[in-house]
Structure 1
Amino acid sequence: MAGPDTASGRIAVGAESVVKVYGRGASAVPALDGVTVDFAAGQFSAIMGPSGSGKSTLLHCLAGLDRVDSGQIRIGSTEITTLSDRQTTRLRRDRIGFVFQSFNLLPTLTAEQNILLGLQLAGRRPDRAWLDTVIDVLGLRQRLGHLPGELSGGQQQRVACARALVGQPDVIFADEPTGNLDSRSGTEVLKFLRTSVRELGQTVIMVTHDPVAASYADRVVLLADGRIAGHLAAPDADTVLSTLTGLAA
């Protein structure tokens, strides 16, 4: 097992001694128990672990969607654990992209309107050349005028990916992005996420339970019982599956 290969690049996201506890007193459950981990810029990372290992909690804390109880999280040079709610909202809006399992598209807006919604709410104009690149890489040119209900699940998730990318964020967080898709559509989305890293220079951090999905990543971070349990570099599905089986034993 190997840690992140950061010798040739900067750290996009880092966590140091992060603790997150749900509940209080006798009913308190430590979801994250002193997690320290770095994610390199320009890398596709997957976070995996048995059910209840804390992987989604870690993703939400890294993305500023959930507050930690102690420890530090940085996005680039910004320590987000000291930000106010307003500052955190601004950081998520301006520097982070999100792709979720449930797509989260507005049903009354076209694909193009959904893609541009975040920028419009932030009062920003899209970089037209970048927008065209994202649309073409995702194969959405012929679907821009369609409503979400007129698109397949895979197409809807590609729209969600385009929305996450269009603002040129520092990092994209993806929470089970293929969970609601059939295998073919899921493969399309995973190939795009990989392409966005290798050809567009994006940084992607994805939570998944699927060893095949994880095999598209450059690196897998393994969690067990709220702690870092190891790393896999250049993972393949069989290695991921056997490692997860060992963690769950």
Structure 2
Amino acid sequence: MSLDAHPQAPAATPSAVAAQNLTKTYGTGPMAVTALDDVSVAFERGRFTAIMGPSGSGKSTLMHCLATLDTPTSGALSLGGTRVDGLNDDALTTLRRDRVGFVFQAFNLVPTLTALQNILLPLELAGAKPDNAWLDELVRRLGLGDRLGHKPHELSGGQQQRVAVARALLPRPDVVFGDEPTGNLDSTSGAEVLGLLQRSAHEDGQTVIMVTHDPVAASAADRVVLLKDGRLAGEILNPQVQQVSDALAQLGAIQ
């Protein structure tokens, strides 16, 4: 997989997502497992960040807590300056619907719906109408114009993931979370998706946070946040593939 040089990112702006002393423990007593251990980290608006670490480092748990898909045991979490820890289920559902987008490794498309119907589904569930000009721009940008009437099984893996990216971006969320978004793609399709996420951050001002195990994918980001044993283990700015590989090797990740 190869990528062009990073587009110039905009100047630093206030945090879109911030965690303070975030801890997540599963189980109790001698069987308790601490997946996150007093993690404090912030993610700036308009930046693309990769979260990496060895297996069991807590990277997926951190993303799930940041995205409000999981509830931390303790600590503070804010999204766009709004404290979200402590919100009830209805408020969290509304927040995820209106302010958070998701791109998953498995695409998570509804098999009985067309590509266009999948893209529009979150807005329809929310009873909202799409911005048609933005929809047209996304379709053009993602090269989906001749695929909108196709169902997922009629699309390649790369096309399915582009539909998932369009679905995530259409509501213009504050933050887009990617859970191994290139994990099921070939190198060419993976590079295309990473380029789209770069553009979403640098041109559209959206915050992109991606969990990945792939140093090449991570090199598309502006920043890599490293975890080990549930704790922050450093970061890399303007990452290069070899830098990321070396850092993971030092943390004990198998490459």
The TM-score, its normalising length taken from structure 2, stands at 0.94
Offset of 1:6 from its aligned partner?
10
Out of 196, 199, 206, the position equivalent to 1:195 is 199
Offset of 1:26 from its aligned partner?
0.7
Out of 183, 204, 228, the position equivalent to 1:224 is 228
Where does residue 133 of structure 2 map in the other structure?
129
Out of 14, 20, 24, the position equivalent to 1:16 is 20
Instruction: Kindly indicate whether the alpha-carbon contact (under 8 Å) linking 1:110 and 1:145 is maintained by their aligned counterparts in 2.
Output: yes
Where does residue 97 of structure 1 map in the other structure?
101
Q: 190-199 vs 25-34, which deviates more?
A: 190-199
**Which structure 1 residue ranges, 5 or more long, are not aligned?**
none
Q: Measure the CA separation in 1 of the matches of 2:131 and 2:14.
A: 25
- 1:206-235 alpha-carbon deviations (Å, 9 max, x no partner): 000000000000000000100011010000
Q: Measure the CA separation in 2 of the matches of 1:248 and 1:179.
A: 21
**Which structure 2 residue ranges, 5 or more long, are not aligned?**
1-8
Q: Measure the CA separation in 2 of the matches of 1:205 and 1:23.
A: 27
Offset of 1:77 from its aligned partner?
1.3
Where does residue 108 of structure 1 map in the other structure?
112
Instruction: Kindly indicate whether the alpha-carbon contact (under 8 Å) linking 1:6 and 1:40 is maintained by their aligned counterparts in 2.
Output: no
- 1:127-179 alpha-carbon deviations (Å, 9 max, x no partner): 11111111111111111110000000010000000000000000000000011
Offset of 1:8 from its aligned partner?
3.0
Instruction: Kindly indicate whether the alpha-carbon contact (under 8 Å) linking 2:106 and 2:184 is maintained by their aligned counterparts in 1.
Output: yes
Please tell me whether residue 241 in structure 1 is matched to residue 245 in structure 2.
yes
Amino acid at match of 1:202: Q
Q: What is the number of residues matched between the two proteins?
A: 245
Q: In 2 relative to 1, CA 7–216 (structure 1 residues): closer, same or farther, beyond 3 Å?
A: closer
The TM-score, its normalising length taken from structure 1, stands at 0.96
Where does residue 56 of structure 2 map in the other structure?
52
Offset of 1:84 from its aligned partner?
0.3
Amino acid at match of 1:167: P
Q: 20-29 vs 161-170, which deviates more?
A: 20-29
Where does residue 186 of structure 1 map in the other structure?
190
Instruction: Kindly indicate whether the alpha-carbon contact (under 8 Å) linking 1:126 and 1:167 is maintained by their aligned counterparts in 2.
Output: yes
Q: How does 1:128-147 map to 2 (within 5 A)?
A: 128-147=132-151
Q: In 2 relative to 1, CA 7–154 (structure 1 residues): closer, same or farther, beyond 3 Å?
A: closer
Q: Measure the CA separation in 2 of the matches of 1:75 and 1:148.
A: 32
Say what the alpha-carbon RMSD is for the aligned residues: 1.3
